[in-house]
């Protein structure tokens, strides 16, 4: 046990994967944001209550602790899954069958999808599978990991390739734009060969092999530079930078491209059915992250047209002087909605940049009105928050309709 204590105290305060061992046998594998703090927690008196008798039994058998440092918790999460699959440690046995857990799959198609699915659905998958990664016991942790991965290496999930219409994820930079024919969609499109290369990169990352991936991307960046393909070189440089500067999962955030901290965007939308059960939804984003604790619902009291409803919602929000004022306001609609917001702000002697998201007949974003100096650096954030606001308002509206039945 003294040897075990010594090894634990030598662990670094860094992310990685740890192994409890007995001789050459691996008893248990885990991941950590801080290897030192995580493994030390196993030595606390209350370990039986917090981790259960099975872990207490494992600790009684363990004679050593090894570790493999990673550049990030994201890498540790993926590497842990691969190592558990490879070594099948006895004390990593789950309380539930693996079929209850989650997997990442890459489909075997001309334009492969990257999807998250439960184990019991693997055999009945509607798509042939090229690769499978997992199991992952924590669904929310896995969703967060995929969200972060997709910001670095955008991929396809549900959009239809070459459909001629840019999907929503392509508009906010989470899909490489394969839904439009190469050469017709402008920046962001990707041909089949380039997308296949993207899938190879993703497979390296999903295997927890970040260092080999960075080496591959660096080599490709040098080739792009020799060919004077500076756009491709810049894209690869940004991917390398993102992969090598993640310190923990929460650090890859879609930060507002501003020197300000706590950059706050507030978005509004009105939902109703022919004027009935009218509601307003307000959502908030700070530093590129949805701040759901600040979301607010408004039941419209003086039912009128969209503009009157919007005016009422904003006036009621501004009455709450204890709520922090935003750096940017987003509204769903066109010039009239934008004008209404600005009028209410002027009446309250407030100067806050305001933009509106114009939708087409299928309620897809078509344009963003307002000062383009504000729009351009925040376009992805504006579209993402507007999308969430619309869904938030619709859910509340449907809830009110059910209550009236």
Q: Name residues whose C-beta falls within 8 Å of residue 95's C-beta, 6 or more positions apart in sequence.
A: none
Q: Name residues whose C-beta falls within 8 Å of residue 206's C-beta, 6 or more positions apart in sequence.
A: 78, 104, 106, 131, 133, 149
Residue 259 forms part of a structural domain:
no
Last residue of a domain, one of 194, 226, 252: 252
What's the token pair of residue 378? 């925040």
pLDDT per residue over 91-142, tens digit each? 886 544 455 678 899 999 989 999 998 877 877 788 889 988 888 877 777 8
Last residue of a domain, one of 77, 93, 109: 93
**Mean pLDDT to the nearest integer, 363-378:** 86
Measured CA to CA, the distance from residue 61 to residue 20 in angstroms comes to: 9
Measured CA to CA, the distance from residue 367 to residue 390 in angstroms comes to: 16
Residue 116 forms part of a structural domain:
yes
Q: Residues 269, 281: contact at Cβ < 8 Å?
A: yes
Residue 152 forms part of a structural domain:
yes
Measured CA to CA, the distance from residue 157 to residue 135 in angstroms comes to: 19
Q: Are residues 134 and 181 both part of a single domain?
A: yes
Domain tally, the chain: 4
Q: Are residues 383 and 328 both part of a single domain?
A: yes
Strand positions, DSSP E, 210-364: 264-273, 276-286, 289-290, 296-299, 328-332, 354-359
Measured CA to CA, the distance from residue 377 to residue 380 in angstroms comes to: 8
Residue 362 forms part of a structural domain:
yes
Give the CATH number of the domain where residue 8 resides: 3.40.1440.10
Portion of the chain with pLDDT greater than 70, in percent = 88
Q: Are residues 326 and 372 both part of a single domain?
A: yes
Mean pLDDT taken over the chain: 83
Q: Give me the pLDDT at residue 121, please.
A: 81
Measured CA to CA, the distance from residue 110 to residue 133 in angstroms comes to: 20
pLDDT value at 286 more than 90: no
Last residue of a domain, one of 35, 68, 93: 93
Q: Are residues 276 and 394 both part of a single domain?
A: yes
Cα 110 from chain centroid (whole Å)? 25
Q: Are residues 150 and 191 both part of a single domain?
A: yes
Considering only residues 372 and 49, tell me which one the structure prediction assigns the higher pLDDT: 372
175 pLDDT band, cuts 50/70/90, is confident
356 pLDDT band, cuts 50/70/90, is very high
Q: Give me the pLDDT at residue 256, please.
A: 40
Backbone angles phi, psi at 159, to 5 degrees: -70, 160
Q: Are residues 158 and 278 both part of a single domain?
A: no
Which residues span the domain enclosing 360?
264-404
**Mean pLDDT to the nearest integer, 174-182:** 78
181 pLDDT band, cuts 50/70/90, is low
Q: Are residues 383 and 293 both part of a single domain?
A: yes
pTM above 0.75, yes or no: no
Give the CATH number of the domain where residue 362 resides: 3.30.420.340
pLDDT value at 373 more than 80: yes
Q: Give me the pLDDT at residue 253, please.
A: 35
pLDDT value at 180 more than 70: yes
Q: Give me the pLDDT at residue 50, please.
A: 57
Q: Are residues 216 and 305 both part of a single domain?
A: no
Q: Are residues 51 and 163 both part of a single domain?
A: no
Backbone angles phi, psi at 394, to 5 degrees: -60, -45
What's the token pair of residue 194? 């380039």
Residue 38 forms part of a structural domain:
yes
Q: Are residues 113 and 231 both part of a single domain?
A: no
Measured CA to CA, the distance from residue 372 to residue 386 in angstroms comes to: 17
Residue 258 forms part of a structural domain:
no
pLDDT per residue over 52-103, tens digit each? 678 888 988 999 999 998 877 788 888 888 888 888 898 886 544 455 678 8
The highest-confidence range among 136-145, 163-172, 338-347, by mean pLDDT, is 338-347
Backbone angles phi, psi at 5, to 5 degrees: -60, -45
Residue 291 forms part of a structural domain:
yes
Could you tell me whether strands 328-332 and 264-273 are parallel, antiparallel, or unpaired per DSSP bridges?
A: parallel
Could you tell me whether strands 114-118 and 365-369 are parallel, antiparallel, or unpaired per DSSP bridges?
A: unpaired
390 pLDDT band, cuts 50/70/90, is very high
314 pLDDT band, cuts 50/70/90, is very high
Give SS3 for 95.
coil
Considering only residues 158 and 124, tell me which one the structure prediction assigns the higher pLDDT: 158
The highest-confidence range among 166-175, 235-244, 318-327, 347-356, by mean pLDDT, is 347-356
Q: Are residues 247 and 281 both part of a single domain?
A: no
Considering only residues 326 and 70, tell me which one the structure prediction assigns the higher pLDDT: 326
Q: Are residues 12 and 86 both part of a single domain?
A: yes
The highest-confidence range among 32-36, 269-273, 302-306, 399-403, by mean pLDDT, is 269-273
Residue 31 forms part of a structural domain:
yes
């Amino acid at each position: 046990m003294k040897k075990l204590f010594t090894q634990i105290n030598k662990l670094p305060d860094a992310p990685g994967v740890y192994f409890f061992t007995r001789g050459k046998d691996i008893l248990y594998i885990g991941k950590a944001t801080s290897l030192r703090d995580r493994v030390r927690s196993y030595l606390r008196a209350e370990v039986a209550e917090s981790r259960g008798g099975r872990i207490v039994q494992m600790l009684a058998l363990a004679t050593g602790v090894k570790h493999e440092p990673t550049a990030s918790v994201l890498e540790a999460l993926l590497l842990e899954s691969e190592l558990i699959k490879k070594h099948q440690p006895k004390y990593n046995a789950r309380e539930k069958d693996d079929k209850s857990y989650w997997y990442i799959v890459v489909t075997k198609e001309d334009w492969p999808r990257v999807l998250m699915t439960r184990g019991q659905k693997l055999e009945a998958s509607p798509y042939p599978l090229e690769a499978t990664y997992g199991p992952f016991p924590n669904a929310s942790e896995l969703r967060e990991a995929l969200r972060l991965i997709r910001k670095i290496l955008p991929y396809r999930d549900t959009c239809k390739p070459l459909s001629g219409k840019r999907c929503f994820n392509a508009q906010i930079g989470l899909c490489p734009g394969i839904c439009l024919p190469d050469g017709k969609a402008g920046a962001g499109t990707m041909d089949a060969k380039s997308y296949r290369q993207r899938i190879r990169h993703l497979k390296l990352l999903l295997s927890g092999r970040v260092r080999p991936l960075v080496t591959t991307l660096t080599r490709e960046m040098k080739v792009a530079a020799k060919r004077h393909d500076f756009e491709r070189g810049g894209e690869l440089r940004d991917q390398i930078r993102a992969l090598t500067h993640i310190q923990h999962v929460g650090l890859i955030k879609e930060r507002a491209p501003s020197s300000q901290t706590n950059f706050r965007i507030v978005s509004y939308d009105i939902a109703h059915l022919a004027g009935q059960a009218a509601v307003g939804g307000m959502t908030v984003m700070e530093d590129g992250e949805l701040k759901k604790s600040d979301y607010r619902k408004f039941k419209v009291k003086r039912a009128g047209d969209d503009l009157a409803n919007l005016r009422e919602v904003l006036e009621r929000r501004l009455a709450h002087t204890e709520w922090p004022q935003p750096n940017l306001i987003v509204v769903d609609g066109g010039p009239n909605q934008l004008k209404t917001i600005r009028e209410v702000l002027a009446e309250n002697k407030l100067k806050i940049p305001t933009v509106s998201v114009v939708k087409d007949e299928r309620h897809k974003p078509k344009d963003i009105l307002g000062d383009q100096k504000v729009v351009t650096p925040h376009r992805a954030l504006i579209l993402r928050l507007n999308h969430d606001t619309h869904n938030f308002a619709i859910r509340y509206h449907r809830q009110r309709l059910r209550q009236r039945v």
